[in-house]
Amino acid sequence: MSIIFHENSRVFHLSNNSISYILRVMENAQLENIYYGKRLHDAEGLERHHEMIQRSHSAVALPEPSLLSMNFATQEYPVYGTGDYRSPACTIRQENGSRIMNFRFASWRVEKGKPGLDGLPSLYCESNEEAETLVIVLQDEPTQIQLHLFYTIFKDYPAIARHVEFHHHGEQTAYIEKALSACLEFKDMDFELVQLSGAWARERYIHVRKLEIGHQGVQSLAGTCSSAEQNPFIALRRPGANESLGDVYGFSLIYSGNFSADVEVSPFDMTRVVMGINPEYFTWKLNPGESFTTPEILLVYSACGMNGMSQTYHQLYRTRLVRGIWRDTPRPILLNNWEATFFDFTEEKILAMAECAKDLGVELFVLDDGWFGSRNSDYEALGDWYCNMAKLPSGIQGLSEKIEAMGLKFGLWIEPEMVNENSDLYRMHPDWVIHVPERFRSHSRHQFVLDFSRKEVVDYIGDLIVKILEASKISYIKWDMNRYMTEPYSIALASDQQGEMMHRYILGVYSLYERFIRQFPNILFESCASGGARFDPGMLHYAPQAWCSDDTDAWERSKIQYGTSLAYPISSMGSHVSIVPNQQIFRITPFSTRAKIATFGTFGYELDIQCLTDREKEQVRQQICFMKKYRRLIQLDSDFYRIRSPFEHNEMEEIVVAKDKKTALALFVQKTNRVNGSWLRFHLAGLNPDLHYQITCQVGDKTKEFTAYGDELMYAGIVVDRQDLNANGGDYASLLYEIIAIEQ
């Protein structure tokens, strides 16, 4: 890994064994991107990639005879107003109303390792040898506002982390109207845009479109979260690139609030990607002496297809974004009571469920919504974070002790950011709700959003929850959040600071998470938002796992988890086995398939375990044994490969392969069964072609076994016998192959 500065040409070259990222200081002292992709030799003369050509309507940024036009430069952090007619990365309104800025190169430095971001989630290093950071300082002379552009290159990953700091050294207040985390430009438009879009119960579906001239992209204005509709991730891939071949550029924003990712293709076929906090409804007042930091973005380049990109995200997010003891610890197998009881439970019922779960091998019992205040439906009590003693006479303290005494760990559901109108908290503080005075407050799920941009609100809620965490034996917290923001406004902010409200809200959420994880470092946090509306890298810095979706149907989950895997590791995917007909889609799928899909995640159950038949209970025992045997491999010690997409085929195929390639688990799931169907071959990936493996697969009540070399398994494929699919349930049947290298 190195960061080289060529003094004469003023070219910076960041590189490691796999990538180069090259930028230069242009003749007008602004920054231009020269190249990002597969590693290049360092050499003089790379500035030749800027072609100085006269084009029509170009405004020239320097006195005659210069031809330098910002409209044709591939810029690092563009502003509008000096001849570039594309979308800028930053806009600052000054006291005189002008938004014209000229950020000129002032200085640069290289730091060992990687700095953190104040109050924001970010990647980190464990030693200074893992990464180097280039900081380029640009200055606008008239306003004395500086931009510090941060570029971290990791030694072992084809990845660059970027963010920007705004520092105001001038004398007049300014307003940041747009402060994106990065701009990246390409000189052509020969790409497909890959995005993860959806809605409640069908989050993160993979969508692909060819780039066209004009704007295309994704955004969230949900306010409280990154949203179920769009994920803060996009990729640009070369046509023809697939899961294992071709060039792919990934963009992933480490942020949980409003975001935008805009891909603009100019009529000259140049592609500009800008991504960061959504500039809609955003302004930040920057007083003299103050600074502002954007969220971090992680750029990943892959020369070996989508799997190559995903594996870099998986590895970096799992090991250098997630923190604490759970980063390296296999996740407990849990039972959650939500789909079993909803709000209708008693202490007796909970204890009976826990007892049964313990007997079958479950390790953690999670008490979901309904344990606090007068909460018996979703109409009341959010905000009243003290136990409902009528329902649970021993309190959370007593209940948690009883469950621990059984040999289980205890987990609890909370939704700290919300309040119902029918609650003690609302009666005490109606003005803590996000609203505009004298205007209607829109409700959603009968609840309102607390103003987490206000420290006193965050502190009050934090104090209530800390009291419970201190008094009880709690090993796990599910932090839920069940509505988007409306009427964004804070009565605590001045009128010229209202544009800060939604970002401050997210900073408030992060600060409360930080308080909890500092005070209770052993608690495992799982984030959740009406299912998977907050599945973003920002959350992973605090909560190592996230509830993927309220849709637990096996086939729906195979799509949701397949899409999620584009940017997120298996260890982050909360995945449970639930009953059939499925409560969301009313589909019936085999029990074994539901368990196999959940195996490729954190694994748990979300059903009334006592109601299972003896045969099903026996299956649960076996499923749990299997998960305990393999969870370290699945969640921590392997590489994950997508093989066949459920978005394009009747089958879904994927595999986890141990780092040493001696163990693997390959999953084949079909949607509908075919009668008199064609041949099926499951071409595995990631194995060692020269290793001889033993393959075992459960078919009905029998175990099928055979041996084969890695090359046969990958290139000729496993013969999938349709009779085996019939035996495993027909529609939605699945086959899970255990693949173990035979000692030689």
Q: Annotated active-site positions, please?
A: 480, 550
Q: Is 260:217 a contact under the CB 8 Å cutoff?
A: yes
The least CB distance from residue 473 to ligand DGJ, in Å, is: 21
By beta-carbon proximity to ligand DGJ, the closer residue of 5 and 386 is 386
Among 32, 243, 368, 417, binds ligand DGJ (CB under 6 A): 368
The least CB distance from residue 399 to ligand DGJ, in Å, is: 18
The least CB distance from residue 654 to ligand DGJ, in Å, is: 24
By beta-carbon proximity to ligand DGJ, the closer residue of 33 and 256 is 256
By beta-carbon proximity to ligand DGJ, the closer residue of 500 and 550 is 550
Among 317, 338, 668, 732, binds ligand DGJ (CB under 6 A): 338
By beta-carbon proximity to ligand DGJ, the closer residue of 330 and 531 is 531
The least CB distance from residue 410 to ligand DGJ, in Å, is: 16
By beta-carbon proximity to ligand DGJ, the closer residue of 101 and 334 is 334
The least CB distance from residue 423 to ligand DGJ, in Å, is: 15
Distance, in Å, from the CA atom of 28 to the CA atom of 104, rounded to the nearest integer, reads 7
The reply on whether position 365 binds ligand DGJ by CB under 6 A is no
Piece in contact with ligand DGJ (CB under 6 A), picked from 524-532, 558-566, 675-683, 727-735:
524-532
- One-letter amino acid at 617 equals K
The least CB distance from residue 530 to ligand DGJ, in Å, is: 5
* Coil, strand or helix at 575: coil
Distance, in Å, from the CA atom of 549 to the CA atom of 204, rounded to the nearest integer, reads 9
The reply on whether position 551 binds ligand DGJ by CB under 6 A is no
The reply on whether position 556 binds ligand DGJ by CB under 6 A is no
Among 530, 552, 571, 635, binds ligand DGJ (CB under 6 A): 530
The reply on whether position 203 binds ligand DGJ by CB under 6 A is no
The reply on whether position 32 binds ligand DGJ by CB under 6 A is no
Phi and psi of 738, rounded to 5°? -90, 125
* Coil, strand or helix at 681: strand
Among 550, 551, 654, 738, binds ligand DGJ (CB under 6 A): 550
Phi and psi of 278, rounded to 5°? -60, 125
The reply on whether position 526 binds ligand DGJ by CB under 6 A is no
Q: By rule CB under 6 A, what string of x and - marks binding of each residue 403-422 to ligand DGJ?
A: ----------x---------
Question: Taking CA 426 as the corner, what is the angle to CA 422 and CA 431, rounded to the nearest 5 degrees?
Answer: 140
585, 589, 592, 596 alpha-carbon torsion, rounded to 10°: -50
The reply on whether position 482 binds ligand DGJ by CB under 6 A is yes
The least CB distance from residue 206 to ligand DGJ, in Å, is: 22
Total residues in contact with ligand DGJ, by rule CB under 6 A: 11
By beta-carbon proximity to ligand DGJ, the closer residue of 411 and 538 is 411
The reply on whether position 553 binds ligand DGJ by CB under 6 A is no
Distance, in Å, from the CA atom of 75 to the CA atom of 54, rounded to the nearest integer, reads 18
According to DSSP, the residues that pair with 449 across neighbouring strands are 418
Phi and psi of 180, rounded to 5°? -80, 165
The reply on whether position 87 binds ligand DGJ by CB under 6 A is no
Cis peptide before 437 (omega within 30 of 0): no
Per-residue burial over 46-66, b if 16 or more Cβ lie within 10 Å, else e, is bbeebeeeeeeebebbeeeee
The reply on whether position 380 binds ligand DGJ by CB under 6 A is no
Q: At what angle do helices 455-471 and 395-405 cross, to 10 degrees?
A: 40
Distance, in Å, from the CA atom of 477 to the CA atom of 63, rounded to the nearest integer, reads 62
The least CB distance from residue 624 to ligand DGJ, in Å, is: 21
Q: Using alpha carbons, select from 372, 291, 297, 365 the residue that is nearest to residue 334.
A: 365
Residue nearest to ligand DGJ (CB): 369
By beta-carbon proximity to ligand DGJ, the closer residue of 132 and 368 is 368
C-alpha distance from residue 95 to each of 79, 142, 287, 480 (Å): 17, 12, 11, 42
Instruction: Determine the straight-line distance between the first and last CA of the chain, rounded to whole angstroms.
Output: 38
The least CB distance from residue 482 to ligand DGJ, in Å, is: 5
Residue showing tokens 């023809």: 240
By beta-carbon proximity to ligand DGJ, the closer residue of 25 and 364 is 364
The reply on whether position 607 binds ligand DGJ by CB under 6 A is no
User: What tokens appear for 554 in the block?
Assistant: 């096996």
Strand order in the sheet with 364-367: 573-574, 545-547, 524-527, 476-479, 409-414, 364-367, 334-336, 604-606, 576-578
The least CB distance from residue 620 to ligand DGJ, in Å, is: 20
The reply on whether position 547 binds ligand DGJ by CB under 6 A is yes
Among 185, 229, 369, 451, binds ligand DGJ (CB under 6 A): 369
The reply on whether position 605 binds ligand DGJ by CB under 6 A is no
Piece in contact with ligand DGJ (CB under 6 A), picked from 20-28, 352-360, 525-533, 710-718:
525-533
By beta-carbon proximity to ligand DGJ, the closer residue of 140 and 417 is 417
Piece in contact with ligand DGJ (CB under 6 A), picked from 204-212, 386-394, 526-534, 674-682:
526-534
Helix locations, 579-714, DSSP H: 591-599, 614-635, 710-711
C-alpha distance from residue 714 to each of 633, 688, 718 (Å): 20, 9, 8
By beta-carbon proximity to ligand DGJ, the closer residue of 485 and 733 is 485
Q: Using alpha carbons, select from 118, 114, 135 the residue that is nearest to residue 126.
A: 114
C-alpha distance from residue 206 to each of 82, 378, 400, 695 (Å): 38, 32, 41, 31
The reply on whether position 528 binds ligand DGJ by CB under 6 A is yes
- Other CB atoms closer than 10 Å to residue 724's CB: what's the count? 19
* Coil, strand or helix at 222: coil
The reply on whether position 201 binds ligand DGJ by CB under 6 A is no
Cis peptide before 288 (omega within 30 of 0): no
Q: Using alpha carbons, select from 1, 2, 3, 6 the residue that is nearest to residue 43.
A: 6
The reply on whether position 510 binds ligand DGJ by CB under 6 A is no
By beta-carbon proximity to ligand DGJ, the closer residue of 279 and 383 is 383
Q: Using alpha carbons, select from 404, 366, 372 the residue that is nearest to residue 389.
A: 372
- Other CB atoms closer than 10 Å to residue 28's CB: what's the count? 17
User: What tokens appear for 433 in the block?
Assistant: 């709700």
Among 223, 383, 411, 531, binds ligand DGJ (CB under 6 A): 531
User: What tokens appear for 450 in the block?
Assistant: 């607390």
The reply on whether position 384 binds ligand DGJ by CB under 6 A is no
C-alpha distance from residue 51 to each of 62, 68, 69, 75, 213 (Å): 16, 9, 10, 13, 21
The least CB distance from residue 549 to ligand DGJ, in Å, is: 8
By beta-carbon proximity to ligand DGJ, the closer residue of 308 and 604 is 604
The reply on whether position 564 binds ligand DGJ by CB under 6 A is no
The reply on whether position 77 binds ligand DGJ by CB under 6 A is no
Piece in contact with ligand DGJ (CB under 6 A), picked from 182-190, 503-511, 528-536, 721-729:
528-536
Neighbour-count burial of 369, counting CB atoms closer than 10 A to its CB (0-12 exposed, 13-18 middle, 19+ buried): buried
By beta-carbon proximity to ligand DGJ, the closer residue of 279 and 532 is 532
Among 140, 480, 639, 724, binds ligand DGJ (CB under 6 A): 480
The reply on whether position 578 binds ligand DGJ by CB under 6 A is no
- Other CB atoms closer than 10 Å to residue 529's CB: what's the count? 29
Q: Which residues of the shown chain bind ligand DGJ in the complex (CB under 6 A)?
A: 338, 368-369, 413, 480, 482, 528, 530-531, 547, 550
